[in-house]
Amino acid sequence: MSDSAQKICQRFLKDQTSVSWLIVGGKGLGKSRLVKDVAEQLLGVQGIVAGFKILECGLTEEAKKKIQKDILEGKAVNTPNDEDKKNEITVEDVRAAINFLSLKTTLPCKILAISLAEQMNINAQNALLKTLEEPFDKTLIFLLSENPAKLLPTILSRCQKVYLHPMKQSELLKHIQTKYPQEKNAEWVSEIAEGLPGIADEICEFDGFVLYNRLSHFFVPIRNLDITNVLTFSQEAAKDNHQYHLSMFFILKFLRDQALVSPVLFAQKLTKIHSWVESLIRKTDSLYLDKAQVLSDIIFKISEQYK
């Protein structure tokens, strides 16, 4: 358990007060892992089922109704498509979460985690504000954010703050060796993950080493791309969110590393592509673009620079 998680647990156990926490950090820094560690410590693994709720962008009302209709008619329920998902957290979502906190329980506490809290629209944030000002007994609220500037000042002022930063490589290596003692590529993972424990965990848990080697074949030498192989890889990686996320991380790292060792003019081109890829990732998440198409387009775009 991290020092931050221990601090939160100790404060709650000592004072038994309902405190709201804002956990700030970029992707891969372990925001969700911190909250999960707190939940396991305070609720126990069994208690998490009833006492821990995660609020994030969910399904549209139309998609929910369709699933309910299929269940009532005895039909198979298919995995929702990207078009079935919302791109913001609404006031209805927040009210449902507040209702969860208001219910009485025999557990030591109840915990609500709002993932990417900046995705709450203004009405949703205002709906949450009253609960932050007058929290229910023995409850903890965590706002996980990559961009807290999008949250209302009144929300920020009512939260204790924890800022997560990248680990030193030696610290990350120790984390990997402790958590994944069977990982044969621990040193490589600690170097490639750039101090991000969440990325290190994904690499260890979702065949990141194999994925990296497959992706590297497209870049070394990048001039000899096989279109069929790129399309096949993109289709396979897009089917799994972890594989897709890691692919984007590896691509952005490749662009940064290449920019550092390239002549000035070419480095500027790579830096522009890096910004374009970051923008495309955000649009993919918000507009539900075809991930396989996006991934293959990025690989081809990079290859064009080396012709």
Structure confidence by residue, pLDDT tens digits, 127-159? 999 999 999 988 999 999 999 999 999 999 999
Q: Cβ atoms within 10 A of the Cβ of 150, count? A: 14
Lowest-pLDDT choice from 70-79, 166-175, 249-258, 282-291: 70-79
Distance CA 140, CA 18 (A): 6
Torsion sign across C-alpha atoms 83, 88, 92, 98: positive
Q: What pLDDT, on a 0 to 100 scale, did the predictor assign at position 221?
A: 67
Please say if the pLDDT value at position 7 is more than 60: yes
Q: What pLDDT, on a 0 to 100 scale, did the predictor assign at position 87?
A: 76
- C-beta separation of 215 from 251 below 8 A: yes
Average of per-residue pLDDT values in the chain: 87
pLDDT band at 80 (very low <50, low <70, confident <90, very high): low
Residues of the chain above pLDDT 70, percent: 87
Q: What pLDDT, on a 0 to 100 scale, did the predictor assign at position 287?
A: 64
Reported pTM? 0.71
Distance CA 119, CA 166 (A): 24
pLDDT band at 295 (very low <50, low <70, confident <90, very high): very high
